[in-house]
Amino acid sequence: MKSFSFKNGDTIDAIGLGTWKSDPGEAGKAVKEAIRAGYRHIDCAAIYGNEDDIGRALSRLFEDGEVKREELFITSKLWNSAHKKNDVIPALKKTLDDLKLDYLDLYLMHWPVAFRPGLTGAPKSEKDVLPIEEIPITETWEAMLQAKKQGLIKHAGVSNFSTVKLDELIKASPEAPEMNQVELHPYLQQEKLLKFCKSHDILVTAYSPLGSRDRPDGMKAKEEPSLLENPVINEIADKHGATPAQVLIKWAVQRDTIVIPKSSNPDRIRQNLESAKLQLSEEDMKRIRALDQHFRYLPTNLFRTKSGMYENIFDD
Ligand code: NDP
Ligand code: 1BO
């Protein structure tokens, strides 16, 4: 399995398991299946509501000697309602408690968006969403770096950050994020962002690599293009005796990004990991490069308020 290195020499496997939308009850099973199949990298988040279930599965695997904690790379994410400096470490400790871990390998600021501290669930009124100036990103970031100093996390990063927001954060902080997790797939190739991250030694993780078709309907555009049914992806898959999902996953890895396909189906969990064996040719990569259409599966205005706040999070 290809892996990527942080500046201190720690590594992260190129293919990890996504866990958004894996219901409590199925998330733990998916994580067990994945680890038994050979995954060593799991992507979690407090807002996914399944960290407790995943924690129980991990504890069981450790107790039964199937895997050791230090063999795994576990990521989680700080939710938008815990951005205040005094809320960050308590939120992280809740995640650690749920996952039943002493430390995280990577902690990400989930979105450059601030909600009313203490808000549980989705914002219900305008007052639940705060202008970012009220709790600046730098305040949240400083608290995340404190968590790193305390040994609660090994690496700190961000998610859904544009080049503009990364640049602001880098200029204002003693330490740059080590990771940016963003939506990336053939319809949204983000060349400019990748180049920016590479030049600042920021690793990139590709989310929704298969088109996130199990998203809630409210997050879907009326007529969105399907990645898994794209004719070019299917032709390349047929040529290699692979599946379209495997082509999409391997494309991400061959572009030097980390990728975290979500599945709660045992066969697809294995199939996705097996994409590591596939080798796409230069011609395949060239054909896929031509598919870019700047299309986002996650709406740009996911957190927009009536007054127009957070109209477009991706401001680059
Ligand atoms: P994906 O693009 O990974 O797609 C998941 C969907 O693809 C599910 O419906 C899944 O179904 C299906 N699927 C999985 N494997 C295959 C396969 N081999 N063939 C056909 N269908 C398949 O979507 P996500 O949006 O979940 O993204 C992946 C992960 O990225 C998330 O789970 C989360 O961990 C992370 N993420 C992070 C975000 C952020 O803001 N930082 C935002 C979005 C995602 P089934 O489960 O039935 O197999
Ligand atoms: C609001 C969607 C978050 C997925 O990571």
Q: Give the pLDDT means over successive 10-residue stretches in the chain (316 positions).
A: 97 98 95 98 98 98 98 98 97 98 98 94 89 94 98 98 97 97 98 98 98 95 96 98 98 98 98 98 98 94 87 86
Per-residue pLDDT tens for 146-180? Answer: 999 999 999 999 999 999 999 999 999 999 999 99
Q: What are phi and psi of 274, to 5 degrees?
A: -65, -10
Is residue 48 annotated as part of the catalytic site, yes or no? yes
Per-residue pLDDT tens for 23-46? Answer: 988 999 999 999 999 999 999 999
Cβ–Cβ < 8 Å for 99, 107: no
The dihedral region occupied by 131, where left means phi > 0, alpha psi between -120 and 50, and beta the remainder, is: beta
Gap from CA of 234 to ligand 1 centroid (Å): 18
Q: Quick check: CB of 45 below 6 Å from ligand 2?
A: yes
Gap from CA of 253 to ligand 1 centroid (Å): 16
d(CA 246, CA 267): 13
Please report whether residue 296 resides in a domain.
Answer: no
In this predicted structure, what is the pLDDT of residue 294?
95
Q: Which ligand is nearest to the CA of 109?
A: 1
Q: Which ligand is nearest to the CA of 181?
A: 1
Give the CATH number of the domain where residue 231 resides.
3.20.20.100
Q: Which ligand is nearest to the CA of 111?
A: 1
In this predicted structure, what is the pLDDT of residue 129?
94
Which atom of ligand 1 is closest in space to residue 211's alpha carbon? 2
Note the residue count of the chain.
316
Q: Which residue has its alpha carbon closest to ligand 2 atom 4? A: 20
Per-residue pLDDT tens for 122-144? Answer: 888 889 999 889 999 999 999 99
Q: How many domains does the chain have?
A: 1
In this predicted structure, what is the pLDDT of residue 122?
85
| Residue tagged active-site, from 39, 48, 187, 310 | 48
In this predicted structure, what is the pLDDT of residue 308?
85
Please report whether residue 305 resides in a domain.
Answer: no
Please report whether residue 312 resides in a domain.
Answer: no
Q: Which of 113, 246, 263 to mutate to test the pocket of ligand 1 (most atoms within 8 A of CB)?
A: 263
10 Å CB burial of residue 63 (0-12, 13-18, 19+) is exposed
Q: Quick check: CB of 297 below 6 Å from ligand 2?
A: no
d(CA 202, CA 196): 8
Please report whether residue 164 resides in a domain.
Answer: yes
In this predicted structure, what is the pLDDT of residue 32?
98
Segments forming the whole domain that contains residue 239: 3-289
> Which residues have any ligand 1 atom within 6 Å of their CB?
18-21, 43, 110, 159-160, 181, 207-214, 228, 243, 245, 260-265, 268, 271-272, 298
Please report whether residue 53 resides in a domain.
Answer: yes
Q: Which of 47, 129, 208, 220 to mutate to test the pocket of ligand 2 (most atoms within 8 A of CB)?
A: 47
d(CA 302, CA 206): 18
Gap from CA of 298 to ligand 2 centroid (Å): 8
Gap from CA of 18 to ligand 1 centroid (Å): 6
In this predicted structure, what is the pLDDT of residue 288?
98
Cβ–Cβ < 8 Å for 119, 127: no
In this predicted structure, what is the pLDDT of residue 236?
98
In this predicted structure, what is the pLDDT of residue 298?
95
Gap from CA of 185 to ligand 2 centroid (Å): 16
Q: Which residue blocks in the chain are alpha helix, DSSP H?
A: 27-37, 51-63, 85-99, 137-149, 163-172, 191-199, 231-240, 244-254, 266-274, 282-289
